């Protein structure tokens, strides 16, 4: 009775082990392909995520001295877009004696106050975390910039004698960067007081939000007919994709070329390494191995070439993606880890099938070489 376990040909293993430098080079080339593919995915997905912080609403009217929408227009929007939430917000622009430095370059002589109630209403509409409370006499500064330091510890005084202690900040902004970067959340009592004192400095905006509506171009098109000035996440996202299309195309072409190079090298290396040991396969056939057993041996032997390059390439590539993400993404954008892991998952979905196809094609070609060498025995 013939023993039909898989056999590893010692000379084949030895030849492949001597190709360690080649395997390392292919693995590094494969990791470069993984990194370029990962960077492509990140540069496609991250700007849209970052835009949620700069432009948190689906659509937001420009800050103005009067309400942008009439009651009939609001009802019309709700009728045309049943999933939309329309939120009117009032902001009080409070002049202050001290300078409010948002960054080294952005320095203001005022703050834009919003009540805690309206802030939380917008936060709910945009799917953000609400602020639990703001103590009397304090304010929470909305920080639009990539910083995890939520401590502010700054006291500001309005021109009419109101002192506001800016103790903490939050990165959960609810108003677009284009409207204001000096937003301070106040408790309702202090806000009402300032609202009366600075009646001439009251501004209004309308925020439109809804589930799965950020890329809906129908909303800005509808507002175009209303002849209103607005900021739109859908338009901004479209601009990002359009502006970066040449970069995406260039990286994609480079990735495809890398994959073609790797596939070609692996395919022909497998054929070249098997050619000198064809006589050993003939010996296995003489020992009683059939077609199925020979195929198993071929697949096992070629895996010694393919598996190390795959493992090395994926590990190095994922480390490269993780490192590149720090250069591309900031530290406070929501879902950063989801973007990184989603990118790695996308890379696996693309590379594994391609790699598997090349592996199977190489096995098929090598088996064809063996069959031609031994004659019609394996037919």
Per-residue tokens: 40 = 């492509």
**Pair 208, 80 in one domain:** yes
Residue 107's φ and ψ, nearest 5 degrees, are: -125, 125
pLDDT at 45 (0 to 100): 76
Query: What's the predicted TM-score (pTM) here?
Result: 0.70
Chain segment 31-89, per-residue pLDDT in tens: 888 888 888 888 777 777 778 878 889 999 998 898 888 888 889 888 889 888 899 99
CA distance 81 to 77: 6
Structure tokens at 353: 């099938």
164 pLDDT above the threshold of 60: yes
Q: Per-residue pLDDT tens for 274-322?
A: 888 788 888 888 888 888 888 888 888 888 888 888 898 899 888 888 8
270 and 180 belong to one structural domain: no
172 in the same domain as 254: no
Residue 34 shares a structural domain with residue 109: no
Task: Kindly state the percentage of the chain with pLDDT values over 70.
Answer: 89
Higher-scoring residue by pLDDT: 145, 53:
53
Tens of pLDDT, residue by residue over 180-236, are 878 899 999 999 999 999 988 999 999 999 888 888 899 899 888 888 889 998 888
- 166 lies in a domain? yes
Of 9-18, 297-306, 335-344, least confident by mean pLDDT is 9-18
| Gap between the Cα atoms of 372 and 366, Å rounded | 10
Domain-located, residue 225: no
Are 79 and 203 found together in one domain? yes
378: CB partners within 8 A, 6+ apart: 285, 290, 291, 294, 367, 370, 371
209 and 116 share one domain? yes
Q: Are residues 107 and 252 in the same domain?
A: no
Stretch 88-116: mean pLDDT: 86
- Say what the pLDDT of residue 1 is: 41
Residue 116 has pLDDT above 90, yes or no: yes
Q: For residue 360, tell me if it sits in a domain.
A: yes
Residue 161 lies in domain: 59-213
**Looking at the domain assignment, is residue 232 inside a domain?**
no
- Same domain, residue pair 31 and 72: no
Report in angstroms the alpha-carbon separations of 47 from 67, 200, 234, 275, 317.
Answer: 31, 37, 12, 50, 22
The pLDDT confidence band at residue 328, using thresholds 50, 70 and 90, is confident
Parallel, antiparallel, or unpaired: how do β-strands 107-115 and 183-186 relate? parallel
Phi-psi region of 212 (alpha: psi -120 to 50; beta: other; left: phi over 0): left
265 found inside a domain: yes
- Pick from 9-18, 24-33, 96-105, 306-315: least confident: 9-18
The answer to whether position 289 is within a domain reads yes
């Amino acid at each position: 009775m013939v023993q039909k376990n898989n056999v590893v040909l010692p000379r084949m293993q030895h030849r492949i082990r001597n190709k360690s430098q080649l395997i390392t080079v292919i693995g590094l080339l494969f990791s470069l392909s993984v990194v370029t593919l990962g960077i492509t995915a990140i540069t496609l997905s991250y700007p849209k995520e970052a835009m949620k912080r700069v432009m948190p609403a689906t659509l937001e009217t420009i800050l103005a001295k009067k309400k942008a929408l009439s009651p009939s227009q609001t009802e019309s929007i709700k009728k045309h877009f049943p999933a939309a939430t329309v939120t009117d917000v009032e902001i009080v622009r409070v002049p202050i004696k001290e300078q409010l430095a948002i960054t080294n370059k952005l320095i203001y002589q005022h703050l834009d106050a919003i009540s805690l109630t309206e802030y939380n209403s917008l936060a709910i509409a945009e799917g953000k975390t609400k602020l639990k409370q703001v103590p009397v006499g304090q304010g929470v500064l909305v920080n639009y910039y990539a910083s995890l330091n939520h401590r502010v510890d700054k006291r500001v005084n309005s021109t009419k004698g109101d002192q506001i202690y800016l103790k903490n900040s939050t990165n959960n902004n609810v108003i677009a960067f284009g409207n204001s970067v000096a937003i301070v959340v106040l408790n309702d009592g202090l806000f009402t007081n300032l609202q009366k004192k600075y009646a001439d400095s009251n501004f209004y905006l309308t925020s439109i939000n809804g589930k799965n509506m950020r890329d809906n171009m129908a909303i800005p098109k509808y507002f175009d007919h209303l002849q209103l000035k607005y900021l739109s996440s859908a338009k901004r996202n479209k601009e990002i994709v359009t502006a970066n299309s040449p970069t995406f195309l260039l990286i994609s072409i480079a990735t495809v070329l890398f994959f073609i190079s790797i596939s070609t090298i692996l395919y022909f290396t497998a054929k070249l390494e098997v050619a000198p040991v064809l006589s050993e396969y003939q010996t296995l056939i003489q020992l009683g191995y059939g077609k199925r057993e020979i195929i198993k041996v071929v697949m096992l032997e070629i895996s010694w070439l393919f598996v190390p390059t795959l493992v090395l390439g994926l590990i190095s590539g994922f480390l490269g993606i993780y490192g590149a993400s720090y250069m591309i993404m900031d530290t406070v954008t929501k879902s950063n880890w989801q973007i990184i892991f989603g990118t790695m998952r996308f890379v696996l979905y693309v590379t594994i099938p391609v790699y598997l196809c090349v592996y199977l094609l190489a096995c098929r070609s090598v088996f064809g070489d063996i069959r031609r060498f031994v004659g019609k025995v394996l037919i």
